[in-house]
Amino acid sequence: MTERVSTGLTRLDEMLGGGLIPGTLTVVYGATGIGKTHLGLTFAAHGAVADAARGIVLDMNGRGDSQQHDEYAARLFEWSLTPWRHTVTPMSEPFPGAADMRAFYSNALRWVGRVRDFQVPTSDGAWEFDWNWKATYNHALYTVRPFMYFHFAAGTRRVVVDGVEPMDSPADSIQCHMFDDVYRTIVHRDGETLGMEICLPVWKHREFIDTHRYDPGRITTVLLVTTEETRIEDLLARKVAAGDIGATANTILVMGSERVGNRLARMLAVVKHRGSAMTDEIVDYRITANGLEP
């Protein structure tokens, strides 16, 4: 029997044949305000029950407006979702304090737009990332990498990434570029290797690295992507464009709306769930004071 990761939403776990598969990527598509953040926070918060450690939230929202993660977390789960500020530059003291380890939220990657907006032409007619932007991005990773590594070392096995904006061509999105980089080089990096890259000099911190090893293949990621489409039918008919992260995801969920009588209903469906049985139902749900409810 395939092991499962509970989302914290009973009806959704039933639709997924028991839950998500550990170590995989789930992409949730839906319009602004449809309930993606509620779903993501529920998944992260449920880690305290299922994994004995809450999940972490990486907010890539670059618009400057609040997506109310902290308000939702406090109201729904009595969870103070404070931002992670601990930065580890090369050869600096790596270890976060107790207060840092109570911070499960980071918004260090705030860039939106096209990849080309952050590139400059080269003499041979090609394009490369602007040096100033690349330096700033790499400095932001000095916050994101320890944010993820030290929480993984402490038992976190859930990652929620929110704030990805709609793009005509996902392959051109700087947010998709950054997510792919973080997913490959941090989330699914060997825990010992990542620890040795952060905790320098290694000889000094070898004991910590060895006693806090973890399996990156056990870390489950949920990516929340905002779409221009709002209707559930349009989302179900949505084609996977070049560079779309959903093409390589294990699981795809869509959240859209539809007119039902005299009300606008919110609907959820499972489009893809590799390696598992799944329901073909389209489920009606509501957003209440208690979060998502069927």
CB atoms within 10 A of CB 66: 10
Closest CA relative to residue 93, chosen from 198, 195, 207: 198
The CATH number corresponding to 10-293 among 1.10.150.170, 3.40.50.300, 3.40.50.2000, 3.30.465.10 equals 3.40.50.300
Tens of pLDDT along 190-209? 999 999 999 999 999 999 99
In this prediction, residue 64 carries a pLDDT of: 56
* Encoded tokens for 264: 């606008």
Calculate the alpha carbon distances from 251 to 24, 52, 144, 264 in Å: 8, 24, 25, 26
Residue type, 98: A
Q: How far apart are CA 69 and CA 86, in angstroms?
A: 20
**Look-up of token digits 């980071």:** 106
- Enter the DSSP assignment of 82: P
* Encoded tokens for 206: 């070898």
In this prediction, residue 238 carries a pLDDT of: 87
* Encoded tokens for 49: 């029950």
In this prediction, residue 197 carries a pLDDT of: 97
What mean pLDDT is reported for the chain? 93
* Encoded tokens for 157: 């096995």
Q: How far apart are CA 266 and CA 269, in angstroms?
A: 10
Task: Supply φ then ψ for residue 279, to 5 degrees.
Answer: -80, 155
Tens of pLDDT along 223-274? 999 999 999 999 999 887 777 888 999 999 999 999 988 888 999 999 999 9
* pLDDT, block means (10 residues), the chain with 294 residues: 88 94 96 94 96 96 72 93 96 97 96 95 93 97 98 98 90 94 97 97 97 97 96 91 86 94 92 91 88 82
Query: Would you report the helix, strand and coil content of the chain in percent, each value rounded to 5?
Result: 35, 25, 40
In this prediction, residue 289 carries a pLDDT of: 78
